[in-house]
Amino acid sequence: MGLRLGDDAPDFSADTTEGKIDFHDWLGDSWGVLFSHPADFTPVCTTELGETGRLKDEFAKRNTKVIVVSVDSVEDHKRWSADIEETQGCAVNFPIIGDTDRKVAELYDMIHPNAGDTSTVRSVFVIDPNKKVRMTLTYPKSAGRNFREILRVIDSMQLTDNYKVTTPANWEDGDDVIVSPALSNEEAEKLFPAGWNELKPYLRMTKQPNK
């Protein structure tokens, strides 16, 4: 059975393009994004890792570290990084795990035999500073991921961890949010003195509290 939301993110030691790491120690008190790509020297993966490099500052703003894994070797990762920089205009500025023994891929259930049993699918795990799995995504090998969506969900989780709100469909940072249905109106008045728009008793829209 794969990892579920709220599970402890498995720890591991691994060789990467930036040296050997112990995953939990490497994360420290940061949020983390661990994602897999099927193989080096492949077209979709090349664009994905280039986009990840471009978003380095955006992840840093969110106290989030990114690390990537595939079943290829560190040596292959390093050779491929030159292609990524050449074609995507951005250097690889995050570690890539060499997982030739599939230890990490199996820990995180990243190999799906019905989609091909020799490489990882496009899995994403967002892990919080308590080393809990907070979000998972799985894409088919043919579809590149939307990394802005990953940032958007991190924004939502970091907001809702600190305020008694939830975020509606298609929410972006700065948009109105939903007052937690667990709060009574009396409790909500203390937390949201500017009030809210009550569409239904369970659907109360208010301004994002940290803006």
Residue spans per domain, the chain? 13-145, 163-206
Are 13-145 and 163-206 equal in CATH topology? no
Query: Does residue 90 have an active-site annotation?
Result: no
Q: Of 9, 14, 27, 45, which is the active-site residue?
A: 45
CATH of domain 163-206: 3.30.1020.10
Residues with Cβ within 8 Å of residue 144, at least 6 apart in sequence: 44, 47, 48, 122
The confidence score (pLDDT) of residue 110 equals: 87
CA distance 211 to 207: 8
Residue 127 bridge partners (DSSP): 32, 133
The confidence score (pLDDT) of residue 125 equals: 97
What's the CA angle centered on 49, arms 141 and 55, to 5 degrees? 125
Q: What order of strands is seen across the sheet that includes strand 96-98?
A: 19-22, 13-16, 96-98, 64-70, 31-36, 122-127, 133-139
The confidence score (pLDDT) of residue 124 equals: 96
pLDDT 10s per residue in the chain (211 long)? Answer: 579 999 999 999 999 999 999 999 999 999 999 999 989 999 999 999 999 999 999 999 999 999 999 889 999 999 999 999 999 999 999 999 999 999 999 999 888 766 556 566 689 999 999 999 999 999 888 899 999 999 999 999 999 999 999 999 999 999 999 999 999 999 999 999 999 999 999 999 999 999 8
CA distance 125 to 201: 34
CA distance 114 to 35: 19
What is the architecture of the domain spanning 13-145? Answer: 3-Layer(aba) Sandwich (3.40)
**pTM here?**
0.93
The confidence score (pLDDT) of residue 211 equals: 85
